[in-house]
Amino acid sequence: MVAVAFMMPLNIKLQVGRRVDLQMPTLELEEAVSSEIGTRLIAGLDEAGRGAIAGPVTAAAVVLPLNQPESLARLSEVDDSKKLPAKTRARLFDEIVELALAFGIASASAGEIDQNGIIGATKLAMRRAVALLNPQPVYLLIDGRIKLKEPVLPQRSIIRGDAKSLSIASASILAKVTRDRIMIENQQRFPYYGFSRHKGYCTKEHVEALFELGPSPEHRHTFAPVRQSLL
């Protein structure tokens, strides 16, 4: 395979009317992998919901068209999803889905989290997301410290990868937006917990409802506040 030379700047991303931000995710990591092993089928992986006490953990995998710098310029606002307003995330979700060479989004349920632990369930969701990619990637860039034994692919775990890699940051947006939508749907099924507001995280409102009503089927029974509410 032949390595592809990319034109997007390594450390600076520009947008009309916007200040240059040296901390925005770039394609530097993807370019390094491409130069080393000669592939552009590089998937960025990230998750949303690990710290919640209710709802699934959701993972996304994104393969960007690294040989299309003009198209990727449309993703100049992409950043760690936690730094972006909900409306911006929703708009970028559509842009990423439209531009991606491939993307996969998958979840592991609250029950699977209780069964496998949060790290095991996160890996399960990531494996499911990668399995949905077509074409399949040759290399994985994974946010955090997680390493996947399956699929058997070369990979790199990157602390704060969603702030460094455009592929990982794109995956973080897909995962976050999808999980938020799942929790809004759960609000309709279980209207008394406030899922549409806190998305299953451990807020005062959520804990008060939990101890008053007991856990719903969407709560993670092995997580401390939920476990304590059952005593």
Q: What is the pLDDT of residues 90-113, one digit of tens each?
A: 999 999 999 999 999 999 999 999
196 falls within a domain: no
pLDDT at 83 over 70: yes
Determine the pLDDT at residue 182: 98
DSSP per residue, the chain:
--PPPP-S-SS----TTS---TTS-BSHHHHHHHHHH----EEEEEEE-TT-SBS-EEEEEEE--TT-HHHHGGGTT---GGGS-HHHHHHHHHHHHHH-SEEEEEEE-HHHHHHHHHHHHHHHHHHHHHHT-SSPPSEEEEETT---SSS---EEEETTGGGTBHHHHHHHHHHHHHHHHHHHHHHHHSTTS-HHHHTT---HHHHHHHHHH---TTB-TTSHHHHHHT-
Strand partners, 139: 42
Strands of 139-143's sheet in order across: 102-108, 57-63, 42-48, 139-143, 155-158
Can you give the residue range of the structural domain that contains 130? 28-188
4 falls within a domain: no
Determine the pLDDT at residue 220: 98
pLDDT at 41 over 50: yes
Q: pLDDT class for 3, splitting at 50, 70, 90?
A: very low
How far is 101 from 141, CA to CA, in rounded Å? Answer: 16
Tell which residue, 63, 93, 66, has the closest CA to residue 8. 66
198 falls within a domain: no
Find out whether 69 and 9 touch, Cβ atoms under 8 Å: no
Half-sphere exposure of 169 (CA within 13 A, CB side): 25
Find out whether 172 and 60 touch, Cβ atoms under 8 Å: yes
pLDDT digits (tens, 9 = 90+) for 124-175: 999 999 999 999 999 999 999 999 999 999 999 999 999 999 999 999 999 9
Determine the pLDDT at residue 231: 82
203 falls within a domain: no
> Mean pLDDT over residues 47-57, rounded?
98
- Total structural domains in the chain? 1
pLDDT at 4 over 50: no
pLDDT at 207 over 50: yes
CATH number at residue 74: 3.30.420.10
Q: pLDDT class for 78, splitting at 50, 70, 90?
A: very high
67 versus 19: the higher-pLDDT residue is: 67
Determine the pLDDT at residue 23: 81
Find out whether 140 and 131 touch, Cβ atoms under 8 Å: no
20 falls within a domain: no
230 falls within a domain: no
> Helix crossing, 166-189 with 86-99: angle to 10°?
120
Q: pLDDT class for 22, splitting at 50, 70, 90?
A: low
pLDDT at 11 over 90: no
pLDDT digits (tens, 9 = 90+) for 107-133: 999 999 999 999 999 999 999 999 999
> Mean pLDDT over residues 39-65, rounded?
98
Does pTM top 0.85 for this prediction? Answer: yes
Tell which residue, 155, 104, 146, 103, has the closest CA to residue 123. 146
